[in-house]
Structure 1
């Protein structure tokens, strides 16, 4: 058990998403992964995936954390940008992603679908 390892918490949140169990454990897992892994792109990508997938079940604070994870991923580079776009499109959250990105990042990543 590695309680300070963000991947442990991210995987727990992913398991709870798979089970469609949005409870205190899910909330804690999201929060811990977000707090413990801000510089880990893999964690941020997964948190954005989980958050976009569970969007209707998230609090406003959790939605903002999801968007921050997505921003961190997009800021990492073109590859992560493509991943975020695919995830957002697949989950029906492209507009939320676009609204959550600053204009300079949209321009830098040439996100024409978000510049309209």
Structure 2
């Protein structure tokens, strides 16, 4: 990657580098796996995931590995390792439904389970 003056900022070592987002992160691809770098070219999330979604208004993105879902925050910190079958989008109150097997739970934007699996059901 080079700046507007043509100076090399990041030596070519990735197959693809996306545009930087508002958090100063860019998605990278290496050998069909995805990760994140910051605007200094430092890897903040190793390229080992099958998918990384766009960051939402809470600064959280969904990650996927081996058909399991997890969450990463805008600093590259993994909030939840990929273990759920599905994670919905966060609502305006900062909560979302997660599914594991045939049960559902509710997590907050910190990745904390606030309503445990089996304590309620969706109709």
TM over 0.5: no
**Greater share of strand residues, 1 or 2?**
2
Question: Could you state the TM-score of these two structures normalised by the residue count of structure 2?
Answer: 0.29
Give the TM-score, by structure 1 length: 0.30
**Rg comparison, structure with higher value:** 2
Higher helix share: 1
